[in-house]
A and B are shown apart, each in its own frame.
Chain A
Amino acid sequence: QVSLKESGPGILQPFQTLSLTCSFSGFSLGTSNMGVGWIRQTSGKGLEYLATIWWDDDKYFNPSLNSRLTVSKDTSNNQAFLKITSVDTADTGTYYCTQRDWGLYYFDYWGQGVMVTVSS
């Protein structure tokens, strides 16, 4: 059974770097065709797809945030990571990770989400 859970700092200040962890079970990023996607939900832009990391370390970034995003993975520990640099209040929202399966372009499995607040 697939399960994902996000974790993060909760609150951070403008210009800091946001670091999020997705811990998952029921699949492996060591398996071909598996990936983890990151989606956020903000009051300003609603649901926004941010990035994907695949089993072969291929990565895709939303061009609107491309220069600020980094994704990585720890295959042995079933974790994926998202970093967003130089945050501001517009980055406040709930961040989700999702399982990705190559060739499937909808999102079947989501984490519960982690709330992130950017405030001075």
Chain B
Amino acid sequence: DIMLTQSPATLSVTPGESISLSCRASQSISTNLHWYQQKPNESPRVLIKYASQTISGIPSRFSGSGSGTDFTLNINRVEPEDFSVYYCQQSNSWPYTFGAGTKLELK
């Protein structure tokens, strides 16, 4: 199975900061990488598909980049509602796998 390693595990920031979250794959997955946000007691919500493609209804402050093994989710000027857990997921190989998540918390 392809392993996805997310870093950092926890990131403490203040609203208004711009941040980057990392997801590294154990082998090349082209751009078959998707990002999700999960708030407490909610289902995950897709933010970015295929590494950098936007999803309708998602705020423009969220963006993604990368290909191969290294991927980044960027949040431009974090808003209070952004404090949650972020996951990456690969769809290059079966079985699809998820990273362990990065928790974005209020400093």
* A, B in one complex: yes
Interface residues of A (CB under 8 A from B): 46-49, 60, 62-64, 96, 105-108, 110-113
A-B CB pair tally, cutoff 8 Å: 44
Interface residues of B (CB under 8 A from A): 1, 32, 34, 36, 43-46, 49-50, 55, 87, 89, 91, 94-101
A46 vs B91: C-alpha distance when bound (angstroms): 17
Q: Which of A47, A60, A63, A105 contacts B44 (CB 8 A)?
A: A47
Q: With A105-B91, A106-B89 in contact, is A49–B43 under 8 Å at CB?
A: no
| Interface SS of A by simple majority | loop
Q: Is the CB of B43 within 8 A of A48?
A: no
Please name all residues of chain A whose beta carbon is closer than 8 Å to the beta carbon of B87 when the two chains form the complex.
46-47
11 contacting pairs across A/B (C-beta < 8 A): A46-B87, A46-B98, A48-B98, A64-B1, A64-B95, A105-B91, A106-B34, A106-B89, A108-B46, A110-B45, A111-B43
Q: With A48-B98, A49-B95, A49-B97 in contact, is A113–B46 under 8 Å at CB?
A: no
Chain A residue at smallest Cβ distance from B100: A46
Chain B residue at smallest Cβ distance from A62: B95
Greatest chain A CB density within 10 A among B32, B50, B96 is at B96
